[in-house]
Amino acid sequence: MKAVRYVAYAIVGLVILAIAAVAIAIAVIDPNTYKPQIEKVVEDSTNLDLILSGDIGWSFIPLGLELNDVEATLEDERLVKLDQLVAQVSFWSLVTMSPQVETFLLSGLDARLSVDENGSGNWTRIMPEGEPAEEEEAQPSEEAAADSEGDQEPLNFNVENVEISNAQVHYEDKTTGQSVTLEDFTVTASEITLGSSFPLNIGFRFATNQPEFEVVGDISARLAANEDLNEFGVSGLEAIFDMSGEPLGGESVRAELAGSLEANLENETATLSGFTASLADLTMNTDLSVNGFGDKPQLEGSLSIDEFSLKSLLDALGQPAIETEDPDVMKAIAFSTNIGGPAGTVELSDLTFSLDDTTFQGGASYGLANSAIGLDLQGDAINADRYLPPASDEDEEAAEEEAPQGGGSAEEGDLLPLETLRSLALDINLGLGELIVSNLTINEIKSVITARDGVLKVEDFSGKLYDGSFAANATLDARSDNPKWTITKDISNVQTLPLLTDLAEVDMLSGGANMSVNVETTGNRISALRSNADGEISFNLAEGEFTRMNLTRMACQGIAMVNQESLSTSDWGTSTPFNDMKGTFKIDGNTLNNTDLVAALAGMRLEGDGTVDLAASDLDYEIGLRVVGEIHRDEACRVTEYVEDVVIPVECRGDFAEDPAGLCSFDGSRFRDTLKTIAANAARKKVDEETDRAKEKAEEKAREEIDKRLGEDGDKIKDAVKGLFGR
């Protein structure tokens, strides 16, 4: 036991002697006398010129080092300058193997980083050429790292005070002219101890010249980390960023962050509590927990955006205003949802999105592994026309100027990103109580959209439209570079007069429209889709009316000419009622061909055929009004045996983008052929009448002659003659 005691005394004595030696060395040795040697070592081993202008000092209790006024230059240009560096460590904490930094002070750091015209950074020239870094010596082997992890003890580390002040970093890229400055950078922290929280404050100014942009930031929070450095926390976060510059239109905008964050790297969990982020009058709030940091994290929480005005936000950010037909829209936008779902899927439930006086409710989902999107939203009512830009004469003039001249065409790009479509996985169910768009009112809209493996389907797009209904289906097969489109659509009893009036202010046709559309086409450009279109449109209008076109007057004009009389009626009205107008359009690219147009009119049967050129907005139609009965009470329009079953020709030709009602008129050139037919019919009838009268006279004369000559035997001969003439 005495031997052990003596050994302990010896160890204590050696420690005391070592401490005394260190204390004497610090007291006796002046480090400033070694500044030339320190400068030379740095200059010999690097391309830097080290200038130690200030004093170097050290202390024993606490054990510390102090540097003042240090500068390093590279090729006669400043790289780094430092006003003061103070690092003090508690000597006794080193003896007890619990290191404690009492003070770390860094003041006046000034770093200058630059990239020359050849794209080379000055920091890459610090070390002499031909001296590769000794990575193998610098990095421990994997086995050693594994061994150290197995025997690693929790680190007992404490820092009493950290202060960085007046630091700045300047970066310049001469190849682009871009410069970035970080200045007025300050960091203060105290009582930094693993296992408990400590305060942290950061301030800075960040600026760029391309574009001119500046951020002044102030961040304060309490940080915490456990002794194993696998659990971290941020509480009481308050961050303020004042921004200004060209991206903000010269305006000054404030952004703020607040809340708390906890993360456990070992359990792979993180929690965001009471977090708010604001920009001008836009504020987002969230509470969110994450379980798993891999490919399939599981999320749970809530997210909301307080009601804000998009127009006010854009104005505060110095952005161009959004001009809308209704200046009072986009002033009340809000969003809220709960976040959840199984691992690997983000599900939004109880989702509510409001836009002014419109509200959408439902849910959504997103698959992190396959980017699958699910969406189920139901809205009440929205007037989309309120959100359109207001029409102006300048817009129309600009559109005319941009239109291709001389038959040329503007450069056309692809309509859809095919690669993106092939990767889509969609399940979308949308509904809307009422939609007003292009002045049309559509009710009870339903839409089901799916996408898988490059095939996009609109499986149901239906709604109520002007006392009728519509239903459409569409398929886009984008698996090839020449995508195929298939569209089918059915319209039932849609009233055409209010529809056309609201859509294009055209009030020339009324009736309940029934239509069936089947179209196929290929391509990824509008011109190709129109050129390759193939299909059929069949239609029927029951109990309708041409409201701005009187076909009866046109027919009567022709009949009056036949009767060689003039019409006396002056009030013909401006409409023509009809019943059961139907036909079929064959789609051949940009051309619609119709050969079976028929409709029943009063005393007439409308028959027609023609073409519609969609590319040229050109209509070329020949209509015949076949007379089948009395048409009008005007005496000159009486239907005689000469005009019955005659066709009165009408032509409809011209640009239907203009006034459609002015395209149709009586076809005088074709009516000449009609007159020839009528004249020929009348001549044949007159010949037949004259022949009949001549035959009757001949028969009568023959009978008289026979009676005269035969006397009493005349009756027998009369009977024979009657048999001969069939009378």
Q: How confident is the model at residue 392 (pLDDT cuts 50, 70, 90)?
A: low
Is the domain of 702 the same as that of 599?
A: no
Q: Does residue 438 sit in helix, strand or coil? A: coil
Classify residue 367: in a domain, yes or no: no
Q: Which of 287 and 46 is assigned the larger pLDDT?
A: 287
Is the domain of 656 the same as that of 702?
A: no
Closest CA to 427 of 335, 362, 344: 362
Q: Please tell me the total count of domains within the chain.
A: 4
Q: CA 237 to CA 222: how far, in whole Å? A: 7
What average pLDDT does range 679-696 have in this prediction?
A: 65
Classify residue 543: in a domain, yes or no: no
Amino acid 670 reads R
What average pLDDT does range 504-525 have in this prediction?
A: 85
What average pLDDT does range 316-331 have in this prediction?
A: 92
Lowest mean pLDDT of 75-79, 246-250, 685-689, name the range: 685-689
Q: Per-residue pLDDT for 329 more than 90? A: yes
Give the pLDDT confidence score for residue 77 in this predicted structure.
86
Most confident of 275-284, 407-416, 626-635: 275-284
Give the pLDDT confidence score for residue 103 in this predicted structure.
82
Classify residue 85: in a domain, yes or no: yes
Is the domain of 326 the same as that of 307?
A: yes
Is the domain of 645 the same as that of 687?
A: no
Is the domain of 712 the same as that of 618?
A: no
Give the pLDDT confidence score for residue 350 in this predicted structure.
96
Give the pLDDT confidence score for residue 629 in this predicted structure.
86
Lowest mean pLDDT of 61-70, 241-250, 470-479, name the range: 61-70
Please tell me whether the overall predicted TM-score, pTM, comes out greater than 0.85 for this model. Answer: no
Is the domain of 578 the same as that of 635?
A: yes
Q: What is the DSSP string of 670-725?
A: HHHHHHHHHHHHHHHHHHHHHHHHHHHHHHHHHHHHHHHHHGGGHHHHHHHHHHHH
Lowest mean pLDDT of 7-11, 83-87, 391-395, 537-541, name the range: 7-11
Is the domain of 200 the same as that of 223?
A: no
Give the pLDDT confidence score for residue 664 in this predicted structure.
79
Is the domain of 250 the same as that of 188?
A: no
Cα distances (Å, whole numbers) of residue 466 to 470, 492, 494, 587:
10, 10, 6, 26
Q: Which of 642 and 139 is assigned the larger pLDDT?
A: 642
Q: For the chain, what is the largest distance between any 2 Cα atoms, rounded to a whole number of angstroms? A: 193
Give the pLDDT confidence score for residue 724 in this predicted structure.
37
Q: How confident is the model at residue 48 (pLDDT cuts 50, 70, 90)?
A: confident
Q: CA 670 to CA 663: how far, in whole Å? A: 17
Is the domain of 181 the same as that of 240?
A: no
Q: What dihedral angle (degrees, nearest 10) is formed by the CA atoms of 391, 396, 398, 404?
A: 140
Give the pLDDT confidence score for residue 96 in this predicted structure.
56
Lowest mean pLDDT of 70-79, 220-229, 469-478, name the range: 70-79
Cα distances (Å, whole numbers) of residue 484 to 413, 416, 532, 646:
17, 12, 10, 47
Q: CA 638 to CA 636: how far, in whole Å? A: 6
Give the pLDDT confidence score for residue 147 in this predicted structure.
47
Give the pLDDT confidence score for residue 33 in this predicted structure.
72
Which helix (H) or strand (E) element contains residue 668? helix 668-710
Task: Give the tens place of pLDDT for each residue, 21-36.
Answer: 455 444 545 667 767 8
Q: What dihedral angle (degrees, nearest 10) is formed by the CA atoms of 490, 495, 501, 507?
A: 120
Classify residue 36: in a domain, yes or no: yes
Q: CA 565 to CA 555: how far, in whole Å? A: 14
Is the domain of 605 the same as that of 710?
A: no
Q: CA 70 to CA 79: how far, in whole Å? A: 11
Is the domain of 204 the same as that of 297?
A: no
Classify residue 639: in a domain, yes or no: yes
Classify residue 188: in a domain, yes or no: yes
* Mean of per-residue pLDDT scores for the chain: 82
Q: Which of 188 and 687 is assigned the larger pLDDT?
A: 188
Give the pLDDT confidence score for residue 307 in this predicted structure.
96
Cα distances (Å, whole numbers) of residue 437 to 195, 216, 469, 487:
62, 45, 16, 21
Task: Give the tens place of pLDDT for each residue, 567-581.
Answer: 888 888 888 888 888
Lowest mean pLDDT of 313-317, 433-437, 486-490, 627-631, name the range: 627-631
Classify residue 389: in a domain, yes or no: no
Q: Per-residue pLDDT for 399 more than 90? A: no
Range of the domain at 659: 548-666
Task: Give the tens place of pLDDT for each residue, 610-636.
Answer: 998 888 888 888 888 888 888 888 888
Q: Per-residue pLDDT for 311 more than 90? A: yes
Q: Per-residue pLDDT for 191 more than 90? A: no
Classify residue 285: in a domain, yes or no: yes
Give the pLDDT confidence score for residue 406 in this predicted structure.
42
Task: Give the tens place of pLDDT for each residue, 447-466.
Answer: 999 999 999 999 889 999 88
Which residue, of 347, 369, 404, is where some domain finishes? 347
Radius of gyration of the chain (CA): 47
Is the domain of 615 the same as that of 645?
A: yes
Q: Which of 434 and 29 is assigned the larger pLDDT?
A: 434
